[in-house]
Amino acid sequence: MVQFTPVAGPHTHGGTSTTDLMYLVIAALLPASLFGVYLFGINALIVLLTCCCGAMVFEYLGLKLLGRSSHSAMDGSALLTGLLLGLSLPPSTPWWIALSGVFFAIIVGKTVFGGLGQNPFNPAMLGRVMLLICFPVELTNWQQPTPPTMTDGGLAMNNHWLNINIDGISAATPLSQLAGDVSQSLPSFTELSLGQHAGSLGETSALLILLGGLFLLWRGIIHWRIPVALLLGLAIPAAISHLIAPESFGSATSHVLSGGAMLAAFFIATDMVTSPTSAKGQLLFGAGCGLLIWLIRSFGSYPEGVAFAVLIMNATTPVIDHYLRPTVFGQAKRFPL
Amino acid sequence: MLALKRKPFHGGIHPTGHKELTANEATINSDEPQRVYLSLQQRNGVVLRSHVNVGDTIVKGQLIATGPNDMCVPLHAPINGVVDAIGPHVSAHPSGLKVNTLVIRGNGDPNWGIPHVPCDTSKLSPEEIIQRVLDAGIVGLGGAGFPSGMKLRFARQKQVHTLLLNGGECEPYLTCDDRLMRERAAEVAAGAALMVRAIGCSQGIIAIEDNKPASIDAMRSAISDRPQLSVQVVPSLYPMGSERHLIKAVTNQTVAPGQLSTEIGILVHNVATAQAVYEAVRYQRPLIRRIMTVSGGALEQPANINVAMGTLVSDVIAKCGGLKMEAGRLIAGGPMMGQVLPSPFVPIDKSIGGILALSKDEIRAEQSHDCVRCGRCVNACPMSLMPFQMAAHSRISDLDGARHFGLDHCLLCGACSYVCPSRIPLVQYFQHARSSLNAARTMERKSAQARQLTEARQARLHREAEAKKAAKAAKAARKPRKRTARTSTRTQRNTSNNTSSS
């Protein structure tokens, strides 16, 4: 039937959908997730699955509470929140702690504000910070990676990997080393980029996260402004301070490659809902995140500052969007930028 | 990154072109239609006065209706025949508004009723050229439909230095300007030269998007002996056809919001208008036909077709083999900014450059979702506005909020809706807000007018009362009894007070 009722143009569409975007981001995170499971074993898998499934269930309940169509639970946004939270947790986190984190992220972080697109704060980081404050011991119990090794008899899996021995081998993360004594031997550049060190489940391999991020850039899902600004905002102060006082400040490479910096640059700070939309705003937001990460890491009481930095900058997003608007075409520029 | 650097203005999109459907087929010359339907109401709402009556025999090219001033272009008969009826008929307005329409029954004779001999255009003065353009009833063929002669006259007064011919044709599917430039390059060039002379400017630039290499070649060779004309290639980027954006791409100058391009000495016309100007000036032929693209996935034989004004859309579609599948929508114009046709029995008018029968697969209508603030609309907006904020404010009819985020500057180009992953009908919201604003402004104007009238009336009454009082006082002064005079003055003052307070 030809539609003769008036509708506004355009009468065609580029074809992208929010659901596609969400699942592409999830796909970009898969290599880092699988690598995390390879490094840290079965418990890591349990954490990830708890977070992902829990996020979907809570999203469904949240949509019911809001009286919305529950189809949107499948749009990938909740799954992405769950996955990001899971990746930012230590691999030895008990499943019930992960689940309570996901509950907080979805229900308090998202549903309470009115669902998709309405939340001022990144839900995954809200969940992460809530857990860090409520369960400081479990959330800072870092495990040494114990990947299966290739032997003559085939793939040899150790007990830590298979989660038979509950007490994993605790180890310091590169960041806690940075916060403590810099003179201790830090993991090398290769170790940091490949992820052969203790840390959160999905944050250890900077290289895989970078690859995922480059995939998103190539597909046009994210823009380069926030990642580049964040990494520069972190690297520049780190490099300067390291130059002045190498004994008390970590180098730019160790800052950029360790902890959640890469994950934050490409996957967390670039969250569409909670980041500014204008070009100038995105640059400022990214640089602010990077600078805050460095400040918290260098001077704060927590060794890692990604979650706090992102949440603080999320709070500034409405202000940034209000003031740093694009100049209307043809109008004289307000700020000569 | 290279593509980013070459972008002449912020934003813009690259929609799928679909131009291959019609770009390589020669324009079909449609036969004389059996009936034409000529609306007596123009796009700007002015009603023309018909000079013919039902039953009159009329010839092709005959002047049949005129308006009250030069802002209304005259109407000419596109075919030979007899006036069949004058009455309401559905118009291209999206609401399906019925307007007074003159129906001519054709007799199939394709010859002009009045001989149109070529004249030596070099002997014509600029005023004569402009007058011929006005007499031929030419309006901008790019879609806006502003009387071209008026535009030329205005540009001459403003001493414009550059004529810019828009051969951008950035809308997907449409190829009529492309075909015109390939097939009638010499006429376009001649028309451009005439326009340059009419407005007394120094140069004419024909801007063509780089996805039309054949047109670029054709126009380059056509202007080789006209030093005042040049061809400039601009990157294909939607909305390049927007006047301000074309000017930015060609001259790197920007027109400030609220200003006209003539303020910076540039006048923009469509290439098809230039061709019509050539015919009007050289042969004194009125504009009674135009080339339009008839395309879309639901159409049997997409083509460019030269049709008589007033032909019904259904006849044009039938000429192109009819529909091969159910069309989702019939569109007048391109898919980005075109309007839904309210009926297949709408007649073609001068500003319809294309008819699209789009299949459901091409329209891709989907349920819209919540905005996720992804910022794609901000990146796509060629005016550097924040469409998602404008839509959020328009949605709750917060018109001031929407204006704050740039509603007044919006071109309604639809780039934001095209890229929106949540399928939010942004343009729909903007049109709602715009029309609400217009309605509010009209109301305001009306009440201001009413207030002015009331005040004027009160002032008049007051003046009359004062005059009476003065007359009475003068009368009283002549009389010797002062007492009564004072009392009467007091009463008079009381009445005048009552009038002003009411």
Could B364 and A6 be called an inter-chain contact, meaning their C-beta atoms sit closer than 8 Å? no
Q: Which domain holds residue A24?
A: 18-140
Categorise residue B92: left if φ over 0, alpha if ψ from -120 to 50, beta otherwise: alpha
Same structural domain for residues A186 and A291?
A: yes
Has residue A164 been placed in a domain? no
On whether the pTM is more than 0.80, the answer is yes
Could you tell me whether strands B162-167 and B203-209 are parallel, antiparallel, or unpaired per DSSP bridges? parallel
* B205-220 confidence digits (pLDDT tens): 999 999 999 999 999 9
* B10-26 confidence digits (pLDDT tens): 889 999 989 999 888 88
Per the CB < 8 A criterion, the answer to whether A75 and A18 are in contact is: yes
Residue with the larger pLDDT of the pair B440 and A333: B440
Distances (CA, A) of A10 to A26, B174, B376: 30, 14, 16
Residue numbers in A near B422 (CB within 8 A): 17-18, 117
How open is the CA angle A238-A314-A91, to the nearest 5 degrees? Answer: 70
Q: How far is CA B444 from the centre of its chain?
A: 26
Residue (of A221, A259, A219, A213) closest to A238 by Cα position: A259
**Predicted confidence band at B4 (pLDDT cuts at 50, 70, 90)?**
very low
**Predicted confidence band at A187 (pLDDT cuts at 50, 70, 90)?**
low
Q: What is the pLDDT at residue B293?
A: 93
* B475-497 confidence digits (pLDDT tens): 888 876 655 545 555 555 555 55
The DSSP H or E segment spanning A155 is: strand A154-156
The alpha-carbon gap from A223 to the nearest alpha carbon of chain B, in Å, equals: 10
Residue numbers in B near A223 (CB within 8 A): 375, 379
**Predicted confidence band at A185 (pLDDT cuts at 50, 70, 90)?**
low
Q: What is the pLDDT at residue A111?
A: 92
DSSP A154-217: EEE--HHHHT-SSS--B---HHHHHHS-TTSPPPPHHHHHHT-SS--TTTS-HHHHHHHHHHHH
The alpha-carbon gap from B45 to the nearest alpha carbon of chain A, in Å, equals: 19
Residue (of B354, B347, B355) closest to B78 by Cα position: B347
Residue ranges of alpha helices (H) inside B381-425 are: 387-395, 399-404, 415-419
Rounded Cα–Cα distance for residues B243 and B144 (Å) = 11
Per the CB < 8 A criterion, the answer to whether A110 and A62 are in contact is: yes
Rounded Cα–Cα distance for residues B294 and B358 (Å) = 11
Has residue A23 been placed in a domain? yes
* B214-269 confidence digits (pLDDT tens): 999 999 999 999 999 999 999 999 899 888 999 999 998 888 888 888 889 999 99
Q: Which residue of chain B has the CA closest to A326?
A: B384
Residue (of B178, B230, B182) closest to B207 by Cα position: B230
Q: What is the pLDDT at residue B94?
A: 82
**Predicted confidence band at A225 (pLDDT cuts at 50, 70, 90)?**
very high
Per the CB < 8 A criterion, the answer to whether B41 and B47 are in contact is: yes
Q: Take residue B419 and report the two structure tokens written for it.
A: 């890229």
3-state secondary structure of B499: helix
Q: What is the pLDDT at residue A158?
A: 67
Q: What is the pLDDT at residue A336?
A: 44
B413 annotated as ligand-binding: yes
Average pLDDT for residues A31-45, to the nearest whole number? 87
Rounded Cα–Cα distance for residues A111 and A168 (Å) = 36
Rounded Cα–Cα distance for residues A208 and A199 (Å) = 15
Q: Take residue B201 and report the two structure tokens written for it.
A: 């400017």
Is the model's pLDDT at B148 over the cut of 80? yes
Q: What is the pLDDT at residue A170?
A: 66
Q: Which residue of chain A has the CA closest to B343?
A: A4
Length of chain A: 337
* A102-137 confidence digits (pLDDT tens): 999 999 999 999 888 899 999 999 999 999 999 988
Per the CB < 8 A criterion, the answer to whether B92 and B332 are in contact is: yes
Q: What is the pLDDT at residue A181?
A: 53
Q: What is the pLDDT at residue B31?
A: 86
Q: How many CB atoms lie within 10 A of CB A169?
A: 12
Residue numbers in A near B94 (CB within 8 A): 6
Q: What is the pLDDT at residue A91?
A: 86
Residue numbers in A near B363 (CB within 8 A): 11-13
Has residue A12 been placed in a domain? no
* A281-294 confidence digits (pLDDT tens): 999 999 999 999 99
**Predicted confidence band at A260 (pLDDT cuts at 50, 70, 90)?**
confident
B381 annotated as ligand-binding: yes
The residue with tokens 């070529």 is: B118
The alpha-carbon gap from B34 to the nearest alpha carbon of chain A, in Å, equals: 25
Q: What is the pLDDT at residue B307?
A: 93
Q: How far is CA B234 from the centre of its chain?
A: 23
Is the model's pLDDT at A235 over the cut of 90? yes
Rounded Cα–Cα distance for residues B9 and B6 (Å) = 9
Residue (of B262, B369, B19) closest to A21 by Cα position: B369
B119 annotated as ligand-binding: no
Q: What is the pLDDT at residue B260?
A: 87
Q: What is the pLDDT at residue B268?
A: 92
Residues 244-283 of A with CB under 8 A from B: 272-273, 275-279, 282
**Predicted confidence band at A326 (pLDDT cuts at 50, 70, 90)?**
confident
Residue with the larger pLDDT of the pair A312 and B94: A312
- Dihedral angle over CA of A66, A69, A72, A78, nearest 10: 30
Residue numbers in A near B361 (CB within 8 A): none
DSSP A62-78: HHHHHT--GGGGGSSHH
Is the model's pLDDT at A24 over the cut of 70? yes
Q: What is the pLDDT at residue A333?
A: 67
Has residue A150 been placed in a domain? no
Flag whether residue A149 sits within 8 Å of chain B, measured between CB atoms. no
Q: What is the pLDDT at residue B116?
A: 83
Could A272 and B386 be called an inter-chain contact, meaning their C-beta atoms sit closer than 8 Å? no
3-state secondary structure of B35: strand
Residue (of B439, B396, B394) closest to B412 by Cα position: B394
**Predicted confidence band at A207 (pLDDT cuts at 50, 70, 90)?**
confident
The alpha-carbon gap from B379 to the nearest alpha carbon of chain A, in Å, equals: 8
Asked which of A10-24, A226-240, B142-156, B475-489 is least confident by mean pLDDT, the reply is: B475-489
Average pLDDT for residues B155-172, to the nearest whole number? 90
Has residue A4 been placed in a domain? no
Average pLDDT for residues B408-416, to the nearest whole number? 92
Q: What is the pLDDT at residue A8?
A: 84
Q: Which residue of chain B has the CA closest to A332?
A: B256
Q: How many CB atoms lie within 10 A of CB A242?
A: 19
Could B364 and A272 be called an inter-chain contact, meaning their C-beta atoms sit closer than 8 Å? no
Has residue A39 been placed in a domain? yes
Q: Take residue B321 and report the two structure tokens written for it.
A: 């083999």
Same structural domain for residues A182 and A112?
A: no
The DSSP H or E segment spanning B28 is: strand B28-29
Asked which of A70-74, A224-228, B416-420 is least confident by mean pLDDT, the reply is: A70-74
Could B362 and A75 be called an inter-chain contact, meaning their C-beta atoms sit closer than 8 Å? no
Residue (of B316, B209, B207, B213) closest to B268 by Cα position: B207
Asked which of A11-15, A16-20, A154-158, B144-148 is least confident by mean pLDDT, the reply is: A154-158
Where in chain B are the domains?
376-502
B371 annotated as ligand-binding: yes
Rounded Cα–Cα distance for residues B37 and B315 (Å) = 12
**Predicted confidence band at A337 (pLDDT cuts at 50, 70, 90)?**
very low
Per the CB < 8 A criterion, the answer to whether B336 and B350 are in contact is: no
The residue type at B438: N
Average pLDDT for residues B446-460, to the nearest whole number? 95
Q: Give the nearest partner residue to A17 out of B95, B330, B421, using CB atoms.
A: B421
Could B358 and A18 be called an inter-chain contact, meaning their C-beta atoms sit closer than 8 Å? no
Average pLDDT of every residue of chain B: 88
Has residue A6 been placed in a domain? no
**What domain count does chain A have?**
2
Length of chain B: 502
Per the CB < 8 A criterion, the answer to whether B175 and B19 are in contact is: yes
**Predicted confidence band at A155 (pLDDT cuts at 50, 70, 90)?**
low
* B43-72 confidence digits (pLDDT tens): 778 889 999 999 999 999 999 999 888 788
Q: What is the pLDDT at residue A22?
A: 92
Where a domain ends, among A117, A140, A163?
A140
Residue (of B260, B317, B289) closest to B76 by Cα position: B289
Could A6 and B373 be called an inter-chain contact, meaning their C-beta atoms sit closer than 8 Å? no
DSSP B42-100: -TTSPBPEES--TT-EE-TT-EEEE-SSTTS--EE-SSSEEEEEEEEEE-SSTT--EEE
Same structural domain for residues A62 and A185?
A: no
Q: Which residue of chain A has the CA closest to B414?
A: A10
Same structural domain for residues A304 and A185?
A: yes
Q: Which residue of chain A has the CA closest to B428?
A: A8
Q: Give the nearest partner residue to A329 out of B16, B335, B382, using CB atoms.
A: B382
Question: Among positive and negative, which fits the CA dihedral B36, B38, B39, B42?
Answer: positive
Q: Which residue of chain B has the CA closest to A322?
A: B405
Interface test with A, best of B403, B422, B434, B435 (most A CBs within 10 A): B422
Has residue A97 been placed in a domain? yes
Rounded Cα–Cα distance for residues A235 and A248 (Å) = 16
* B165-217 confidence digits (pLDDT tens): 998 889 999 999 999 999 999 999 999 999 999 999 999 999 999 999 999 99
Asked which of A87-101, A242-256, A272-286, B424-438 is least confident by mean pLDDT, the reply is: A242-256
